[in-house]
Amino acid sequence: MKEMRIAIIGCGMISHRHMTVIENLNNLGYNLKVVAAAEIKKDRLEAWGKQYGLDEKDLYQDFREMLKRDDIDEVEVCVHNNLHTSVATAVMAAGFPCYSEKPMAASYADAKILYDAQKKYGQKLAIQISSIYNPQTRIAKEMIAEGKLGKVYHARSVGHRRQGRPGYDMPFFSPDFIDPKVGVHGPLFDLGIYHLAQMLYVLGMPELESVYGFQSCDYWTDPAIDKLVGRTAPVEDLGVGLARFKGGLSMDIYEDWAIHMEDIGSSFIVGSKGGLKFTDVDQTGGPMAVPAGGNIVGGGKLQLPRLTYYGVDDKARLFETQLDCAIGDITGQQELLIHPEMAIYNDNQLQWYSYLWGDLTDETRIDSPYIAMQTAFLSEGVVLSSELGRSVTADEIKAMAKSIALREQEADFGTIKYEFDDYKAD
């Protein structure tokens, strides 16, 4: 198999998950080689290089110097939310395909800028959304397309942590998560990407009409923790909304990082003939993101996505069917035995590499940039509605959206200046 030469930008926690996937795929016979890495924090860069066996000459504090190399096939962007547009556009402008971490950006405007950069620079782009690369999502999408739910009229997108604000209650995460300039937003843009994107994709990317939303940062804090983590301003810990789409579809949205409640419930989709409950939606990367004999980087257990199918048969009898659809269970294993080609639909990174190798086309891959941009559009609607205290229409979201992505970043070696287009509404 042809070698894929990879460069990494950002050597924080999520980069280790990328490296785990690369190692696990190589163990399956793929040919992936990380040839360079960039990170503005010198000590972190050196430790990362030592851990993965990169020579000093292949480590860069300034990623722009790394992008001058001619032996890179693709670049993976592992920085924080409000730098995704800044860095990923620079990668494509330098002539490289780019695989960027979620969320696509910290605002719809910046997601649109990044999406448009694909065409401007003639480069390929992918966004990490692990929840849509598994049998749970594929089976649900197929069932809806086949009419098994009848007329679909409502969906619920849910994400919950009893107490888990990254960088605050979870100190092994970077405090950049709760930095209003770098992380910018809380759970709706963090874990919400997995749940909202999955719902939109399964539903066939419905067209948004309007949304009413509310955000809060009222969960308890402590001055001692504030001082320890350098918390300067609140980032919301709760986001809720009610969206209306064309065709009579509604969706209620609930996403928190921390709340004094245990059981919030699951995401679901319901129609006139049946409904689907989504249990254990993947937000950690699936089996390929688990080190051999270890735990998922950043904590958490391997999720086993499942579906429960509720409905009524032709004799008006109610039924409930449990569908085991995790990649690693019997159903997932049987699918791969019969259809081994489906492996490239079970992992973000493998699909990305397969797309670059030419095994997938624009028509046969999952268009993660479009899905991520539309997810940002809906999330932006919740933010704007909360700020205005009223519902907002899709046209208003487009008109009011503004770019907030960082255009300058301070580093030990000087100031990095990012140049990218201004936001232009369609």
> How far apart, in whole angstroms, are the C-alpha atoms of residue 337 and residue 384?
47
Mean pLDDT in residue range 159-174: 92
Q: How far is CA 193 from CA 52, 166, 201, 223, 312, in A?
A: 29, 16, 11, 30, 32
Question: Is 70 exposed, middle or buried, given 0-12, 13-18 or 19+ CB atoms closer than 10 A?
Answer: exposed
Residue of 377, 391, 389 lying closest to 196 (CA atoms): 377
Mean per-residue pLDDT, 385-401: 98
Give the Cβ contact number of residue 279 at 10 Å.
17
Rounded to an integer, the average pLDDT of 322-341 is 86
Residue 262 pLDDT: 92
Does the pLDDT value for residue 76 go beyond 90?
yes
Residue entry with tokens 């782009």: 125
* Alpha-carbon distance values, 115 to 84, 127, 129, 368 (Å): 11, 10, 15, 10
Within 8 A by CB and 6+ apart from 368, the residues are 126, 127, 128, 129, 132, 348
d(CA 424, CA 341): 39
pLDDT grade for 302, boundaries at 50, 70 and 90: confident
What's the pLDDT band for 372 if we cut at 50, 70, 90? very high
Q: Regarding the domain with residue range 131-344, which homologous superfamily does it belong to in the CATH classification?
A: Dihydrodipicolinate Reductase; domain 2 (3.30.360.10)
What does the alpha-carbon distance between residue 284 and residue 302 come to, in Å, rounded to a whole number?
7
Query: Bigger pLDDT: 238 or 303?
Result: 238
pLDDT at site 299: 67
What integer is the mean pLDDT of 149-159?
A: 98
Task: Please tell me the total number of residues recorded for the chain in this structure.
Answer: 426
What pLDDT was estimated at residue 326? Answer: 83
Q: Which amino acid is at 25?
A: L
**For 244-269, what is the mean pLDDT?**
97
Q: Work out the average pLDDT over 412-426.
A: 94
Residue pair 83/405 in contact (Cβ under 8 Å)? The answer is yes
To the question of pTM greater than 0.75 for the whole model, the response is yes
14: tokens are 């999520």
CATH number belonging to domain 4-130: 3.40.50.720
Q: How much of the chain exceeds pLDDT 70, in percent?
A: 99
Q: What is residue 309's predicted lDDT score, i.e. its pLDDT?
A: 98
* pLDDT band at residue 329 under the 50/70/90 scheme: confident
Domain ranges of the chain: 4-130, 131-344
| Residue 303 scores a pLDDT above 90 | no
Residue 1's pLDDT is what?
A: 72
Q: What is the pLDDT of residue 330?
A: 78
Check whether 301 has a pLDDT greater than 80.
Answer: no
